[in-house]
Structure 1
Amino acid sequence: MTATRLTASPAAASPTISAHGRGRPCVITRRATFSASHLYRLPELDEAENARRFGRCSLAPGHGHNYELTVAMGGPLDGDGMVLNLSDVKHAIRREVSDPLDFRFLNDVWPEFDLSRPEGRLPTTEALLLAIRERLAPHLPLVALRLHEQTNLWADVLCGPTIDPMEAFLSIRTHFAAAHRLARPELSQSENEAIYGKCARPHGHGHNYLLDVTVRGPIDARTGMVCDLAELQQLVADLVVEPFDHTFLNKDVEHFAGCVPTAENIALHIADLLSAPIAATGARLHKVRLQESPNNAAEVFAETPQLEMLPAALEALAAV
């Protein structure tokens, strides 16, 4: 078979759309993995205080994770229809991140984590992601980065000249099981079924809810944390999981006696419950995401407007 090159006539050429999308903006992502260990222990604290602040993460000789890094990059397409050559992207991430970190003890790898220095900090998920950004930024047109330490714990950072270089997002995931019925008491059964369908049936139905809570703030110069992770997890457990788990929301949670417990309303209520307590930890509640089923989820942004934060970058990370 013989390939034929098609050339547009000058009259057919568009001033804004060229062959292969040249010049049009796009965000691309690349995933990388590495395995590493770390230890949360500050030399200026005694054994008891390290244990109180960092729990089992302070136990020597440390613990490890299989990390997953997502790199989002943006820019105009070139004449080959690419933002960047993916081979160049792969080699840059391997050279600057994967090879230096894979199967290493993070506390000893990079100077940011040398705790003998006054500016040294613990290699938390957030702090590690900031250090990765510093190494990749000279080589790739970064838009955002995400680092999963576990499936239920990850951090995000944005990239750009207007972004606070010490700010990060920290997300935790948990779950609870609950039943609900979608119906407004002032309406008849047939009227409720017209609005809510099968969800209005009198005896209700249940879900295994997945809850993601995302907080935002500057990382502490020494602990490397946006907030105390254990405290955040305990707040979510005490204020949401324990009161909601294995309940009939309409009957067992006072708020939903007069509020239809749709996924949207549940997410809004969770955001209202968490905003002030999280603020007391020094972070800010950014977002609550409630997954009701594999097909349905609701997201509530506690910060309005959404910080003018390049939403395409965050969406690119979330889609991976």
Structure 2
Amino acid sequence: MKDLSAVHLNGLRAVEAAGRLGSLQAAAGELGVTIGAVSQQIIKTEKQLGRILFERSPRGLVPTLYGESFLPRLTSGFDMLDQAVASARRRDETILTISVAPVFAARWLVHRLDHFTEKHPDIRLRIDATTALVNLESAGVDVGIRVGSGNWPGVKAELLLEQEIFPVCCPAIAEKLKEPRDVLGVPAVIDGRSMFSWETWLCEVGLSGEKMVARHVFNDASLCLDAAIAGQGVMLAWQTLAGYSIIEGRLAVPYPVRVKTGFAHYFVTPPSRRETKTVSAFKQWVREEIAESMLRLGFA
């Protein structure tokens, strides 16, 4: 493999993806890098090979005569590598690696892990709690749960739960909130990294343009929830964040109005990987737990 050692593998991956998909943009999406990075990798690889593989034209990348003969062999080689890696992963499907945001792990998942173990005692979960949009393929992640619009590159997204927001607070504060306007007189606990604002909910109840008085601002939704539980004010929360605390009675929902944000929870999986029985079992269990908790909250 002396010849292979003279060329960077990342460069060959960029060349193969661009040739197979037909554009720098599509290759960048699959590899989880920028278009500029793909372009630089291709240029570097062409120099290492001493061959021009693509013509640059208004239509995009067009393989040269040499590229037309080289690219299919490159794809075939990467297919063999992919199969080898897949066979190694199949050796132990009792271990399931999942990627979720820390707030989802802390506020929804960990409270229910014993339910999963009771139902699937032969499956061991490995939880990667991160807000980063990790490359599922390279990170060895089997399935993730993300919140957003569902159009992330390089993954297969499957709708799990549409996000709805609503005010929550401790029961003592909730007793004072009779009409929607009453919420304006209560300090607000603000999530500084939230994808939505109080205006989204206020508009729905006829209070568009009104301002909440912020008491504390946090950069973590889980800390905001703890502050609301401690009686520091009212927070704009959503089902998976506040559901467990509401069921336990530590938080109350003073108003029945819930507003969709346009975002949702999605399962995300590597698009090129077959779905194992383990992944299917986990996804089905999450759906069942979500449905059960929505019933208990009266949100179904």
Q: Tell me whether the two structures share a fold, i.e. TM-score over 0.5.
A: no
In terms of fraction of residues, the more strand-rich structure is: 1
User: Which structure ranks higher in relative contact order (CA pairs < 8 Å, sequence separation ≥ 6)?
Assistant: 2
- Normalised by the length of structure 2, the TM-score is 0.26
In terms of fraction of residues, the more helix-rich structure is: 2
